[in-house]
Amino acid sequence: MDDSTAPPRLTRLTFHGPLSEDRAARMIRRLTAQAAPATVLDIGCGWGEFMLRLLEAAPGATGVGIDLNEEDLARGRANAESRGLGRRVRFVQESAVGTTHGPADLVLCLSAGHALSAAQPPEHITAALRALRTLVTPGGRVVLGEGFWQRPPTTGELAAMWPDASASEFHDLAGLVDLAVTAGFRPVWIETASDDEWDQFESAYQSDVEEWLATHADHPLAKETRDRVDQHRSRWLRGYRGVMGLAYLTLVPVR
């Protein structure tokens, strides 16, 4: 056994969220069908897979991805270079709060609304929408991926989720869309991640580490890693599975 081998991180995830290949392809076709965006801004981009695919579908477009995780950004840069996109996209390590990157024709904010303000849930959603309204060009598009309650969580489910989880933390889907309208958008497309997309995401999120644990039971990092993934799996299966949803809203700013 090589004790210097650290557990792998997210190697089996294509997108950092419950997003299937089919849904991503449909979204990109819609976003480029009439007039492909010339500029793309990805907030909390991670390794920016959705942005890279969109740039491949819009050959004249350029993109900027913002995130704080340098490991993810490096993965995005390497992927961009390997796909011939290195000159058309930048991955920038910085906070999205008050960003000067923008406005852009297409702004992506996929499960990253919290990156746009220091507000606490659920106020962070309103703050994020206000920020996104300033970051999109007139006639442009915002794609917002944001959590919502599919149904009210029980006391037991909340206790099994993350620390201090609260029923007030999210809105239902209708309430989330209402917030977007109040912020000055019209929702041109409303869709939600399916149960299968969630299961695929959660399994891929853990899969490579689970296999590592099966063959590194005596590794110095094994206990810490095992505790972490066991806790995450319990929060998913006992807490938010089938309770928390993820909406993908395609929004147009009102002129």
- 164-199 tens-digit pLDDT: 999 999 999 999 999 999 999 999 999 999 999 999
Integer Rg of the chain from CA: 19
Distance CA 211, CA 209 (A): 5
Give the H or E element holding residue 141: strand 136-149
String of b and e for 157-175 (b: at least 16 CB within 10 Å)? Answer: bbebbeeebeeebbbebee
Sequence spans of domains, the chain = 21-149+156-194+243-250, 198-233
Question: Please, which pLDDT band fits residue 4 given cuts at 50, 70 and 90?
Answer: low
String of b and e for 176-208 (b: at least 16 CB within 10 Å)? Answer: bbebbeebbbebeeeeebeeebbebbbebbbbb
pLDDT of residue 1: 43
Distance CA 40, CA 102 (A): 9
- Quote the pTM value: 0.95
pLDDT tens digits, one per residue of 64-116: 999 999 999 999 999 999 999 999 999 999 999 999 999 999 999 999 999 99
CATH number of 21-149+156-194+243-250: 3.40.50.150
pLDDT of residue 34: 80
